[in-house]
Amino acid sequence: MRKLALTLAASAALVALSLAAPVRAEDEIKLPSPGWSFKGPFGTYDRAALQRGFQVYKEVCSACHSLNYVHYRDLGPAGPDGGIGFSEEEVKAIAAGVQVTDGPNDNGDMFERPGRPYDKFKAPFANANAARASNNGALPPDLSLIVKAREGFEDYVYGILTGFADPPADMKMMDGMNYNKYFPGHQIAMPPPLTDDRVTYADGTKATVAQEAHDVVTFLSWASEPTLEMRKRIGMKSMIFLLVLSGLLYAVKRKVWRDVH
């Protein structure tokens, strides 16, 4: 009787929990799920995909989107979690490819200098107003946290990049807007950024839209959560430690309580 009541309460609780899952806007559309190397308890970032994804960001996205929380040094072998695998020389060369404003110097003047690994990624616009002025009034969001900041996460960003299509015949599009299957409201200010062979990969990978999207979303997932691999590594050790500790403490508990039962 008591067991039954408790079981009932527990199963009711489980049902309620599944119902309590957060609401998602545009629930009717199922996001694509192309599969990611970094999912699951042992998942890690695919270094080749990260480097290709960085190339897509640099050659395509960075024209409008900033990456304010990432430093050039993070790309190297010694980023917060091993970086994305460029050598220190390559990182220096990448950083030197942009001009950053520094100063003031001894004369009180600001000056331009080549970027260094400790600099943050240079933003394409000086401020939000400049970004809006160049983009038909729309503000291209910073991409540092884009994967963590959207319901659907990497699948959503991948969906946006691959979800451009012609609008349905009965849909009235606003001026300058583009139809996207996965964007809430389906009208997005961003024009389709990726096309086949938009970039040329050094490793010979064929640059289809799906491939470019997959690579850049892998890169942006890393930008959102650069410590993911370290977290899982420490996590595994912690779980094993706590599992053994629980087992030992259970044995001690049994031994101590032997006389009471």
Partner 1 sequence: MATSSSSKFFSHPVVKWIEYRLPIFSFVDHSLGSQYPAPKNLSYWWNFGSLAGAMLSIMILSGIFLAMNYTPHAAMAFDSVERIMRDVNYGWLMRYIHMNGGSFFFIAVYIHLLRGFYYGSYKYPREVLWWLGVIILLLMMATAFMGYVLPWGQMSFWGATVITNLFSAIPLVGDSIVTLLWGGFAVDNPTLNRFFSLHYLLPFVIVGVVVAHIWALHIHGSNNPLGIDTKGPQDKIPFHPYYTVKDAFGLAVFLLIYAGFVFFAPNFFGEPDNYIQANPLSTPPHIVPEWYFLPYYAILRSIPDKLLGVIAMFSSILILFVLPWLDTSRVRSGRFRPVFRWFFALFVLDAFALGAVGAHPPEGWWLVVGRVATFWYFFHFIIIMPLLGWFERPLPLPASISEPVLGGARPAGAAVRSMEKN
Give min distance, CB of 100 to partner 1, in A.
Answer: 18
| Residue 126 near partner 1 by CB under 8 A | no
Report how far residue 177's alpha carbon sits from residue 154's, in angstroms, rounded to the nearest whole number: 23
What does the radius of gyration of the chain's CA atoms come to, in whole angstroms?
25
**In degrees rounded to 5, what are phi and psi of residue 178?**
-120, 145
- Partners of 100 in the β-ladder: 113
| Residue 13 near partner 1 by CB under 8 A | yes
Give min distance, CB of 105 to partner 1, in A.
Answer: 26
Q: How many residues bind partner 1 (CB under 8 A)?
A: 51
Report how far residue 161's alpha carbon sits from residue 145's, in angstroms, rounded to the nearest whole number: 16
Of 100 and 145, which has the nearer Cβ to partner 1? 145
| Residue 78 near partner 1 by CB under 8 A | no
Report how far residue 209's alpha carbon sits from residue 200's, in angstroms, rounded to the nearest whole number: 12
Report how far residue 154's alpha carbon sits from residue 174's, in angstroms, rounded to the nearest whole number: 27
Tell me which of 78, 133, 165, 234 binds partner 1, using CB under 8 A. Answer: 234
Tell me which of 126, 169, 174, 260 binds partner 1, using CB under 8 A. Answer: 260
Tell me which of 55, 144, 162, 180 binds partner 1, using CB under 8 A. Answer: 144
Report how far residue 218's alpha carbon sits from residue 52's, in angstroms, rounded to the nearest whole number: 9
Report how far residue 115's alpha carbon sits from residue 160's, in angstroms, rounded to the nearest whole number: 31
Q: Which stretch binds partner 1 (CB under 8 A): 47-55, 142-150, 192-200, 201-209?
A: 142-150
| Residue 232 near partner 1 by CB under 8 A | yes
Of 42 and 111, which has the nearer Cβ to partner 1? 42
As given in the structure block, the two tokens for residue 255 are 């031994």
Of 107 and 257, which has the nearer Cβ to partner 1? 257
Tell me which of 62, 88, 150, 220 binds partner 1, using CB under 8 A. Answer: 150
Residue labelled with tokens 């030992």 = 248
Report how far residue 84's alpha carbon sits from residue 116's, in angstroms, rounded to the nearest whole number: 17
Nearest CA to 85 out of 196, 231, 203, 232 is that of 203
**Which chain residues interact with partner 1 by CB under 8 A?**
1-2, 5-6, 8-9, 12-13, 16-17, 19-23, 25, 41, 69, 74, 80, 144-145, 148-151, 153, 184, 224, 226-227, 230-232, 234-236, 238-239, 242-243, 245-246, 249-250, 252-253, 256-257, 259-260
